[in-house]
């Protein structure tokens, strides 16, 4: 009985034409001396898998290549020593502990969001999040922007926005889009993947104020950096530890719970293990219409 061919997974929801399969396999074999990240960047350049900003979708492509390797469709070079993707990393302690700040919101004004750029600023941001956020620091999936929450008395915390979840049942139901619309419109959603107010900071209403500042700024920053204008923000809150009070106060919309599997559970082995509450914030009133109509 003939063996059925193994189906190639789509790349970001787009099927890969069968005539491209040999080309991809040969490229991986030919450039086997490159790292996995370098291979992914090379393939993106060859196939035009680029962001609107013109930069290759290296992170997404590497994950896709690894899914091919898991199915035995290609043989990737061994992972090189270094920081594991999506993992916590060894981070040096901050030079000094954060200041204790107890005040009214007016007493710490003006609160500002400082864009994190440069090696030193990135290292300090990672230190803050690793030491004081319950989830620590993890390398985000896809694109990301980070901010330090600053004020005259000192640093108050940090924010991170990154690429959205590939699928979220509650979010997708709220939008009401079909599969083809989701594939086209997903790039117009971004995730608030980290939000930290330092435990030494006790300022009522600060968190919701910061979320308001971020909602007014992130659209322009994201569009300038990546060439795509976001229309919707999403985040996930663990109901076992938090109730999303600051998101509610900032007019975010609470939806249902996730399945609890996480991004990397392809075998559905962790269904219901750690469900999160989905919250959304439209950056424009007609966000749903725009997301369903993009490319139509």
> pLDDT digits over 146-160, tens only?
999 999 999 999 999
81 part of a folded domain = no
Decide if pLDDT at 271 tops 80: no
Same domain, 128 and 273: yes
When the pLDDT of each residue in the chain is averaged and rounded to a whole number, the result is: 85
Same domain, 65 and 105: no
pLDDT tens, position by position, 194-206: 999 999 999 999 9
96 part of a folded domain = no
43 part of a folded domain = yes
pTM of the model: 0.70
Tell me what pLDDT residue 98 has.
Answer: 84
Q: Where residue 45 falls among pLDDT bands split at 50, 70, 90?
A: confident
Domain that holds residue 57: 18-70
Decide if pLDDT at 278 tops 80: yes
Q: Where residue 262 falls among pLDDT bands split at 50, 70, 90?
A: low
Same domain, 111 and 36: no
Q: Where residue 89 falls among pLDDT bands split at 50, 70, 90?
A: very low
Decide if pLDDT at 95 tops 80: no
Tell me what pLDDT residue 265 has.
Answer: 38
Decide if pLDDT at 91 tops 70: no
Supply the CATH number for residue 275's domain: 3.40.630.30
Residue carrying the six token digits 């976001």: 230
4 part of a folded domain = no
What would the 3-class secondary structure string for the chain be?
CCCCCCCCCCECCECCCHHHHHHHHHHHHHCCCCCHHHHHHHHHHHHCCECCCCCECHHHHHHHHHHHHHCCCCCCCCCCCCCCCCCCCCCCCCCCCCCCEECCHHHHCCCEEEECCCHHHHHHHHHHHHHHCCCCCCCCCCCEEEEEEEECCEEEEEEEEECCCCCCHHHHHHHCCCHHHHHHHHHHEEEEEEEEECCCEECCCHHHHHHHHHHHHHHHHHHHHHCCCCCEEEEEECCCCCCCHHHHHCCCEEEEECCCCCCCCCCCCCCCCCCCEEEEEECCCCHHHHHHHCCC
25 part of a folded domain = yes
The residue length of the chain stands at 296
Same domain, 48 and 115: no
Number of separate domains in the chain: 2
For residues 107-116, average pLDDT: 96
Same domain, 181 and 241: yes
């Amino acid at each position: 009985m003939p063996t059925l061919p193994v189906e190639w997974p789509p790349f970001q929801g787009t099927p890969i034409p069968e005539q491209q399969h040999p080309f991809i396999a040969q490229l991986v074999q030919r450039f086997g001396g490159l790292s996995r990240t370098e291979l992914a960047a090379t393939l993106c350049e060859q196939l035009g898998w680029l962001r609107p900003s013109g930069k290759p979708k290296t992170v997404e492509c590497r994950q896709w290549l690894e899914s091919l390797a898991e199915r035995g469709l290609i043989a990737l070079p061994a992972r090189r020593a270094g920081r594991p993707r999506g993992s916590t990393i060894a981070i040096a302690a901050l030079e000094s502990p954060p200041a204790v700040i107890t005040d009214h919101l007016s007493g710490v004004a003006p609160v500002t969001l400082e864009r994190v750029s440069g090696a030193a600023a990135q290292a300090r941001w990672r230190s803050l999040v690793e030491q004081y956020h319950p989830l620590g620091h993890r390398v985000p999936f896809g694109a990301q922007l980070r901010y330090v929450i600053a004020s005259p008395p000192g640093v108050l915390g940090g924010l991170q926005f990154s690429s959205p979840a590939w699928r979220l049942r509650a979010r997708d139901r709220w939008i009401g889009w079909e599969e083809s619309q989701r594939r086209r419109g997903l790039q117009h959603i971004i995730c608030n993947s980290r939000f930290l107010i330092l435990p030494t900071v006790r300022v009522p209403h600060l968190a919701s104020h910061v979320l308001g500042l971020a909602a007014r700024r992130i659209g322009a920053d994201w569009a300038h950096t990546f060439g795509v204008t976001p229309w919707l923000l999403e985040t996930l809150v663990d109901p076992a530890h938090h109730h999303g009070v600051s998101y509610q106060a900032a007019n975010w919309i609470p939806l249902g719970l996730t399945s609890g599997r996480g991004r990397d559970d392809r075998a559905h082995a962790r269904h219901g293990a750690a469900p999160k509450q989905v919250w959304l914030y439209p950056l424009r009133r007609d966000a749903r219409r725009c997301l369903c109509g993009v490319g139509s």
